A and B are shown apart, each in its own frame.
Chain A
Amino acid sequence: MTPSFAAAPQSTATIGKSVKVVGKIFAKEDLYVDGDVEGTIETPENKVTVGPNGRVQADISAREAVIIGQVQGNVETSDKVDLRKDAKLVGNITTARISIEDGAVFKGSIDIRKPEVKSTATVTATPAARPAEAPAAASAGSATKS
């Protein structure tokens, strides 16, 4: 049997509302959390959704995070964070884009980071001279209207 990671890259793993997980969650597919999670959630290439019943006390690292329920922890995404109207997030956000609906409760910092440009060049043993630091404004990225 083919492992589910390879067979269904677009599928979504679900933690139901009566489920509690304590520990590290690492996923290679989208993750929907509608239960309780304490620990860490890592799904670097995928989306994490904290559903309306979700209660997460964990740092989240993902491509994209959609928060509808409650999160206490830092959220770091390479693409986007989306706080829906009933969301409650206490923690720091590091992301490229952010969307916050009216009614969402957020306490923490927002650090916008421009996504890294993926280089196709092979890694060489001798690093090239370091380019001049881009001004912070250039790395600020953009925030989107919800």
Chain B
Amino acid sequence: MRKPAKPVPPSLRPSRGLEQFFFNIRDTVGLSILDCAGANQDNINLLINLGHKVYSQDLVRGIDDFFGSDPANQTNPARIEAFLQQNFDYPADSLDGVLLWDSLQFMNPVLLTATVERLALVMRPQSYLLAFFTAAERMAEVPSHDFRLVDDKTIRVSERGMRAPGQVFNNRNLERLFGRFNSVKFFLTRDNLREVIVRR
């Protein structure tokens, strides 16, 4: 991952996808929520105060630790299975919500497909995942972000650095990617980010 040339200050932004995610789990407590932003006090506070059990991991860091930062390394089936074992070792139908943030866009198509398959397995039917993808196409590198929950519809975003995306994402290939899921809903934002809320 390449650090940004000039540090970009964190910014607050509303998130329709996040709002939808929390709307879908409103009035329910005791859910198991996987947050892939990495452990931080803001996210943990918000989720815990809503009465949920939090599973936390930094998935982008996990990808780097396992494969390095080049998506081309992410094609070996045995390595992919080991990665899934290490990062998504949850019982079937056990997760009630997954906040993936922008982690999926840094996966090679082979790893991405395997990861989404695994998510479909470990997520409970009718549960939701939230993922962000850049809407800009044909870019050699896209920013990777750190995501902090401010409230149930606002996030604080700061840039972690620039990385090569695993592939180009548009609505059609995202629909295909989440074909096993029940529904896919897109929110295109002004800052060229495609927020995707997917129902298992």
Residues of A near any B CB (own CB < 8 A): 83, 98-102, 104-112, 135-137, 140-143, 145-146
Do B41 and A146 touch across chains, with their CB atoms under 8 A apart?
A: yes
A residues in contact with B48, CB < 8 Å? 98, 110, 112, 140-143
CA distance A52 to B44 in the complex (A): 24
| Distance to closest chain B CB from A78 (angstroms) | 17
CA distance A145 to B49 in the complex (A): 13
Does B58 touch A at the CB level, under 8 Å?
yes
Q: Which of B30, B38, B39, B44 has the most CB of A within 10 A?
A: B39
Q: Known interface pairs A104-B39, A105-B38, A111-B53. Does A143 touch B45 (Cβ–Cβ under 8 Å)?
A: yes
Count of chain B residues with Cβ under 8 Å from any Cβ of A? 22
A104 and chain B: residue at smallest CB distance: B39
Do B56 and A110 touch across chains, with their CB atoms under 8 A apart?
A: yes
B residues in contact with A105, CB < 8 Å? 38-39, 58, 61
Does B82 touch A at the CB level, under 8 Å?
no
Across the interface, A107 reaches (CB within 8 A) one of B29, B30, B53, B57, namely B57
B44 and chain A: residue at smallest CB distance: A143
**Would you mind naming 30 contact pairs between A and B with Cβ atoms under 8 Å apart?**
A83-B39, A100-B39, A100-B44, A102-B41, A105-B38, A105-B61, A106-B39, A106-B57, A107-B56, A107-B57, A108-B55, A108-B57, A109-B32, A109-B56, A110-B44, A110-B48, A110-B53, A110-B56, A111-B53, A112-B48, A112-B53, A135-B30, A136-B29, A137-B29, A140-B49, A140-B50, A142-B48, A143-B41, A145-B45, A146-B41
Q: Other than A106-B38, A136-B30, give 10 A-B pairs with Cβ distance below 8 A.
A: A100-B39, A105-B39, A108-B57, A109-B55, A110-B48, A137-B51, A140-B51, A143-B45, A143-B48, A145-B41
Residues of B near any A CB (own CB < 8 A): 29-30, 32, 38-41, 44-45, 48-58, 61-62
B59 and chain A: residue at smallest CB distance: A107
The 5 closest A-B CB pairs, nearest first, are: A136-B30, A137-B51, A106-B39, A137-B29, A136-B29
CA distance A140 to B38 in the complex (A): 21
Do A110 and B54 touch across chains, with their CB atoms under 8 A apart?
A: yes
A residues in contact with B32, CB < 8 Å? 109
| Distance to closest chain A CB from B21 (angstroms) | 18
A residues in contact with B30, CB < 8 Å? 135-137
A99 and chain B: residue at smallest CB distance: B41
